[in-house]
Structure 1
């Protein structure tokens, strides 16, 4: 095999192999333009599946995060094609760096619905991804890269499990099980290709374990994306169903309510629209209001303010929220305020006498 590798270094279009990772497939065995033929072509199904998911997300107007997620799957596959076709170290980054970026995006999609600080998480993830790209460009760390990637993947599991146990739909649960099955089979293929390469190279037909890793991980990403889209549609009350394209490939079909979606409410602008008196103007009747609300984009807002004798304005402001949790520190106008809160979607109110 060493002789064939030496010959390929001379005959190859891309020049000598400079990547830190070489897999079990023989280099330039099928073409002088493609270093690892099967490892390159095996990314095609991944791109096709991601494209199908992207079309579904756009056609049914899912949140932009899911379109970006499918696009990131395609970018990763294209980067993998570039790397396996050339086996150049510079282009190795086009495969490995998008792997980390993709997992960071999954972490955002998984954890953002319950994240109270809207700008903190995306800002941190973007800075983390940028810092990793810079460091990984200048420093070669094979083992550390793999451990780092595995660690990020493990962070996804608790939230995926939470969504699994919360979901009652059997078809959606099957998607989660397919996600687990494909990542297990893909890992087995990857390990066999790495550990038993010398023996596999002696076989008449090389099973191409790494190529199967690509195919299985393409399905794995598709199943994960579809499951997350289903769970998010449930959170938004879009009545999701799992149906199958060509009787085989599952995707999410949603039925958005005809009821007008709540307008995106910004607490700061809401407060600015009210005339808040100065402290020396405050009367004895006061409301100390604190809680969280979800705006029209599904973002969680946390707020606290004091308003005297403004039940009507307060009612109008809260009416823009789907879910409101309040603590009210004034019993004088409890009936009126309670009626106002009743117009809001799902409300939990606590009235505390002063």
Structure 2
């Protein structure tokens, strides 16, 4: 989609080759695509916490790098959607190559182990399938885009945000990538005779903790 020229903000005229279906500089003068920007927090904060927890538990450093790599994807996407500048678009797209590699590697780890084939990786595949469907509806279907834009104007304030499908794509892919790293880490630490346990922060967000070794 060509960049939108309807509004100007702090970062000036968009120079990126893509401008997603969110009105520019509507929420904030300093953020071009507000919801597409802040939705990247799910790809930044949880992976940073995961990297810190993994380092504290003394687990393999490659998983610290995996979490930090996902956070880098989120930061790159944040910068792109905040500015809609071409150089930031490159910063957004290059880390996506890393994200794809992590996805493939974690699937390999899941299915390599004898107990790795379960509903969990299948559910994660479903998350990515939904995210791909969402971005297809937004990017490749101009008729759907027009219907959504017109309906957004008629919806009550605060409700139209649910039609920001690219932001939902960030959420689904961020969640899927985080869970894939977490699952791979759980399987690997179990293989190494650790005692990994999944705990839910605030009863919602999954985290992995290594329990102390049992003493005989």
Q: Scaled by the length of structure 2, what TM-score is found?
A: 0.82
1:180 equivalent among 120, 125, 145: 125
More strand by share: 1
1:50 equivalent among 47, 50, 55: 47
C-alpha deviation, 1:230, in angstroms: 0.9
| Residue correspondences, number | 203
Aligned to 1:244, what secondary structure does the other structure show? strand
Aligned to 2:151, what secondary structure does the other structure show? coil
C-alpha deviation, 1:103, in angstroms: 3.0
Q: Which residue of 1 aligns with 2:25?
A: 28
Contact 1:178 1:223 in 2 (8 A): no
Is 1:252 paired with 2:200?
no
What do you get for the CA RMSD once the two structures are aligned? 2.6
1:139-218 paired onto structure 2 within 5 Å: 157=107, 159-160=108-109, 162-163=111-112, 166-167=114-115, 173-194=118-139, 195=141, 196-204=144-152, 205=160, 207-218=163-174
Q: Which residue of 1 aligns with 2:156?
A: none
Aligned to 1:212, what secondary structure does the other structure show? helix
C-alpha deviation, 1:228, in angstroms: 0.4
Q: Which residue of 2 aligns with 1:229?
A: 185
Asked which structure has the greater RCO (Cα within 8 Å, sep 6+), the reply is: 2
Separation of aligned partners in 2, 1:185 and 1:105: 19
Separation of aligned partners in 2, 1:65 and 1:87: 32
Q: Which residue of 2 aligns with 1:128?
A: none
Aligned to 1:202, what secondary structure does the other structure show? helix
C-alpha deviation, 1:38, in angstroms: 0.6
Which moves more between the two structures, 198-207 or 68-77? 198-207
**1:31 to 1:255, Cα distance in 2 relative to 1, 3 A:** closer
Separation of aligned partners in 1, 2:102 and 2:176: 15
Q: Which residue of 1 aligns with 2:36?
A: 39
Q: Scaled by the length of structure 1, what TM-score is found?
A: 0.52
Deviations 1:180-221 (A, max 9, x none): 232122122211211222221111336000001111111111
Which moves more between the two structures, 247-256 or 66-75? 247-256
Look at both structures and tell me which one has the larger radius of gyration over its CA atoms.
1
Give the gaps of 5 or more residues in structure 1.
111-155, 260-354
More helix by share: 2
Separation of aligned partners in 1, 2:184 and 2:5: 47
Separation of aligned partners in 2, 1:65 and 1:256: 22
C-alpha deviation, 1:176, in angstroms: 2.0
Separation of aligned partners in 2, 1:67 and 1:56: 9
Q: Which residue of 2 aligns with 1:219?
A: 175
Aligned to 1:201, what secondary structure does the other structure show? helix
Contact 2:103 2:180 in 1 (8 A): no
